[in-house]
Each structure stands twice: as structure tokens, then as C-alpha cells.
Structure 1
Amino acid sequence: MKQLTTAQKQREILANNLNELLELKRKTQADVIRDTGFAEATVRSWFSGEKYPRLDKIQALADYFNVPRSRITEEQIDGMLKVSQLVSIPIIGDIACGDPITAVENIQGYRDEAADTLPTGNLFYLHCKGNSMAPTIPNGAYVLIRQQPDVEDGEIAAVLVNGDTEATLKRVKRQGSLVMLMPDNQSYDPYVVTPDNPARILGKALKMSADL
């Protein structure tokens, strides 16, 4: 059996990882092509192991799947990364007005996550209280947030309201100059952002987990 060269092995590893991520994220190659804007032939060559993307394209794929670059480029063992170092992600509780979001005063605990399964960026958890985002996010769930000042229309964000003292999870909707924070539960009313009713986006919701 012919031994693979280093370059061939790297292409094979990348292709295997990309195809695993498609299944995990319930995506198709057509979704990747449409959502990233990359050429169809180029994307298909990555997924078939024919070509290896440049670093900027690897980062774009990592951002698309919300994983670190190593989840795309490094060999996996039974679907897990070789590196199993744990990282403690802070859980944000009540917000002290004027304090940075991850100030000690705002942290009510931590959740441990495998380092190489985490997306890039400054991360924190919010503990969901209430049913305004049900059934998407049930009461008591923990939602991983990547700190960033804005999100795309329709995405779920962690948002500061009530004079920057309360963090809430809502879907951001824009209609012209109007910005609304929409609950997924239609029993709740939208929060309309105005100068008298301000809000500030803390970050994008990436994934949800819950304890049994």
C-alpha cells in the first residue's frame, strides 16, 4: 500500500474533519458554498481531499462551523481532538452597572469545556431564566456567548437592558432604522430599542447546554 505524503495526509485529515462537521452541524456542501461565497469547485476540492485551503480560508471555515482551526486541521481520535485540556468559562449572573461583563462581581460560577472544541474569541455563559426564548432555549439552559458588539439580523444575542444592569437573550431583528429584540415564545412582547429604552449587544449566542 502506497504511503501518503505529508501533504496528502493533511488534505485527507482536513477532508475527513470537514465532512464530520457537515454531519454534526446538519449542513451540506451546498450550504457552505452558498453561505461563504466560496467557489463551488474550490469547496468541493477541500471536502474531497484534492486541495488544501489557505490559512484565511481555514479560518473562515472555522468561523462558519463555530469551531477552532484545530478542529479542521488536526487529526481526530473517535471524533475527539487529541488535546483534552479543560477551560473554565465564566457564568455571568447579575450585571453590576459600569463593570466589564466578566468582572468578578458579575460571575456566579464556571462551566468547564474542552479547549479545542471552543470557538475563538472572548467567551462566557449566560444562565437562561424564564421562557421567553422557549422552545429554542428552555428555562435553566446555559448559553455560550462570544463577546462581540453586533450580530447579524435574525441571530440570537446576549443584550444588556434596564440601564446596563440586566443581560437578556433575544433574537435581533431590524426593520430600517428600527431595532427590536424578539422573543421566540410568542406569548412575550418584543423589546423595541429607543433612546428612552436603550439596549447594548454583548455578544452572539453560539450553543446551548443544560444540566439534567
Structure 2
Amino acid sequence: MSTTDLGNKKIFSNNLQTFIDRQNLTVPQLAEKLGIKYTTFRDWVKGNTYPRIDKIELLADYFGVKKSALVEHHDNGVPLPIHSYPYIPAAISAGTPATVDAITPDQLEQVAIPDAVMGKWAGHSDISLMRANGDSMNRVIPNGSLIGVRKVDEISDLKNGDIVVFDCDGEYAVKRFFNDKQNRTYIFQPDSDRDGFFPVTHSYDDEDLVAIVGKVVMYVVELS
């Protein structure tokens, strides 16, 4: 950070205005949301005053960026807001289920993804990242995609056709979910343009109940 940037009200106000514009909120709305007096917030935006470090930290946390994104001059524009998410280091099979060893929370690394990529799911604390392998879902999720999985507490939270990651006896897979209430069966259906993939079914009465790890809410594809 350049010493000339420190305390530079104009640089701060320009950066702050950029982040405000990305929020689609007015200055009064954002000030209220953050619990900051409107006139104080307005003076920061106008470049009349410079906030204390604790307020800079508050703003940086809210926008999901480092403090430097607010207080430094950026020749190529202000850095995109970014959040980190736990990454489960086990390939999730989009074909036949793949056995996954137990993973403890302290084994999970964090992967930073720009908010622009995560869209409306940016910053959600119940999102985990996984890697999908196989072609049984290739109409929707190509092989090798990085998928964002949102935790599901109850099967009743799902609707037919949702894409889920499910775990049965330590085997993880990703498929479309259907709840056949008439036949008391959960169906995990592939969605592929290739032959050789078949539904996985579980009766309500199975001793080993299927566990839904989460609902797939987004994916990112690495193009070759």
C-alpha cells in the first residue's frame, strides 16, 4: 500500500461508491443495513471524511473483500468481492456412486470464489464446494465441474427434479431427486445423453436410510 493512499478520502470514496453500486442499494439503505448514521456514511461517500479502521473492517467484511480494496488506488478497477467456502476433497461421482472416506472439518480447505461467480449464493455459510466426475448428469453438469452444494436439513425441503448429492453407506453421487410418495420410494435419476446409466432407488422402509448431503445450486466448468 502506498503511503499516499493511507487516509486518502477521495480514493476511499471512489472505492466505496463502486461497491455500493454493485449492491443495488441507496446510500441511506446501506447505512441503515450496516447500523451506521446516514450523515456519517454520506460524508464517506462524498469524500468529506475518512472512517476509523473499525468501520473500514466492518465495510470490508460486508462487501467480502480485503480492507485494501477500499483504501488503495486500483489502476485496473476495484477488486471483485470474494468469499471462501469449504472444499470437500473427494470427487463426487456423476456416474455410479464412488466410495468416500470420512472427512473431518479440520481436513477441509477453503476455496475463494468471486461473488460474481457465485451469484445469489455468494457468502452463504451453508455452501460447500465439491468436484463432480462422470457423465450420468452431463446434460446439466459436465464432467469435472466444480459444484456448489447447499446443505439440506430435511428431505421435505427438496422438490422433484432438484439435483442433489446423496450419501448411502459412504458412497456419494449426484443425481436428480424424485420423491415417489405413492410407492414410498426415493428415486435418484441420471440426466445424461449417454446409455448405461440407471436410477438409484431407496424405499422409505430401507434400514439404511439415504442421507441427502445437499442440493446442487451452482456449478463452474473448466473449459479445455
Q: Percent same amino acid at aligned positions?
A: 17
User: Is the aligned partner of 1:169 residue 2:174?
Assistant: yes
Structure 1 unaligned spans of 5+: 1-12, 19-48, 56-68, 71-79
Other-structure match for 1:179 = 186
Alpha-carbon offset, residue 96 of structure 1: 2.8
Other-structure match for 1:59 = none
2:216 to 189, 192, 205: 205
| Equivalent-residue separation in structure 1 for 2:188 and 2:106 (angstroms) | 25
Structure 2 unaligned spans of 5+: 1-20, 34-61, 64-76, 91-98
Q: Is the 8 A contact 2:189 2:200 kept in 1?
A: yes
Other-structure match for 1:189 = 198
Indicate how the Cα distance of structure 1 residues 88 and 119 shifts in structure 2: closer, same or farther if over 3 A, else same: closer
Give every structure 1 segment of 4 or more consecutive aligned residues whose post-TM-superposition deviation is greater than 4 Å: 80-83
Other-structure match for 2:71 = none
Indicate how the Cα distance of structure 1 residues 112 and 135 shifts in structure 2: closer, same or farther if over 3 A, else same: same
Residues 123-165 of structure 1, C-alpha deviations (whole Å, 9 max, x = no match): 211211111111211111111111122322210011112x1x1
Q: Is the 8 A contact 1:89 1:113 kept in 2?
A: no
**RMSD of Structure 2 on Structure 1 (CA):** 3.7
Considering only CA atoms, is the larger Rg found in Structure 1 or Structure 2?
2
Query: What amino acid does structure 2 have at the position aligned with 1:191?
Result: V
Indicate how the Cα distance of structure 1 residues 142 and 136 shifts in structure 2: closer, same or farther if over 3 A, else same: same
Residues 1-212 of structure 1 correspond to what in structure 2 (within 5 A)?
17=24, 84-93=81-90, 95-97=100-102, 102=105, 104=107, 107=108, 110-114=110-114, 117=118, 118=122, 120-149=124-153, 150=155, 151-161=158-168, 163=169, 165-176=170-181, 177-185=184-192, 187=195, 188-194=197-203, 195=206, 198-212=209-223
Residues 13-40 of structure 1, C-alpha deviations (whole Å, 9 max, x = no match): 79x959xxxxxxxxxxxxxxxxxxxxxx
| Equivalent-residue separation in structure 1 for 2:106 and 2:211 (angstroms) | 17
Q: Is the 8 A contact 2:83 2:123 kept in 1?
A: no
Alignment partner of 2:133: what SS?
Answer: coil
* TM-score for the superposition, normalised by structure 1: 0.52
Count of matched residue pairs: 140
* TM-score for the superposition, normalised by structure 2: 0.50
Q: Is the 8 A contact 2:84 2:110 kept in 1?
A: no
